[in-house]
Copies of this chain bind each other. A is one copy, B any other.
Amino acid sequence: MLREKEKSTPSDTTTPAVILVDPQMGENIGACARAMLNFDLTDLRLVNPRDGWPNQRAIDMAVGAFDKMPEPRLFETLDQAIANCHFTLATTARTRDMVKPVFTPKAAARELTARAHQSQKTALIFGAERTGLHNKDAALCSGLITIPTNPDFSSLNLGQAVLLMAYELHQQSGTETLDVTLPTGDSAPVEQARLQEFFERLETELENGHFFRSPELKPGMVNNIRSMFTRSDLTDQEVRTLHGVISALIGNKAGK
């Protein structure tokens, strides 16, 4: 059973975490670590790696990268891995039936860099080698990244996708300003763990209210609802307000 390792170092908000979800081959994890360190990224998080961790093939392939970065952290699920993040983008080859902003690599790098300058912890999320990211995991992300490739030969390997994003981030390392800003006053962006709690509560209450017409339809409906909120860049205060909204609505009928 995997368990998050305790780390003594505080979370580094200056560069994005790289999160590999269900990675299969150790070689690919090693290639990702090498590509990350080539461009100064060091916060690697692994969700449920097929061949376990640590992995000798990953270490061989990384040609020393693991010696120069903090130990990768292990998680069982993506929502645990992004718990301390404020803004997350997932690379994806397919368009999804989710309403979520899609960034080019360069625009994504700009956005992630600008948010890091505002002390937001950000993450880049990559799915498994063959299957990519499951919809339930994509639904948790603030937005998507599509790397424009030759449509007749579009499949990048995992290490190469990580390399391109790391390269684009490195290109941004001067000072950048956002094209679009979202002033939030004293309110801070919500930590994803708080957002997960909100989702769980909302979905429990919807279940109680017979919102989900059938068990088969539920996952898709849940993803659609989550996407409305994940793409809004909610603040901490707003999520508290949403809890109040739920309380008011479920208490409503009772009060009559």
- Hey, which bits of chain A sit against chain B, CB under 8 A? 34-35, 37-40, 63-65, 68, 95-97, 99-104, 106-107, 110, 143, 147-150, 152-157, 159-160, 163-164, 167, 170-171, 177, 179-185, 187, 202, 205-206, 208-211, 221, 224-225, 228-229, 231-235, 237-238, 241-242, 244-256
Contact = CB atoms under 8 A, between A and B. Distances in A.
A173 to B, nearest CB: 9
B252 A208 contact: yes
Contacts of A107: 179-180
B180 A251 contact: no
Contacts of A164: 163-164, 167
Nearest to A156: B38
Given A37-B150, A179-B104, A180-B102, A238 B224 contact: yes
A255 B209 contact: yes
Given A150-B40, A153-B38, A248 B209 contact: yes
A225 B241 contact: yes
Contact of A249 (B37, B100, B232, B250): B250
A149 B38 contact: yes
B160 A68 contact: no
Contacts of A170: 148-149
Contacts of A184: 99
A68 B103 contact: no
Contacts of A238: 99, 224, 228
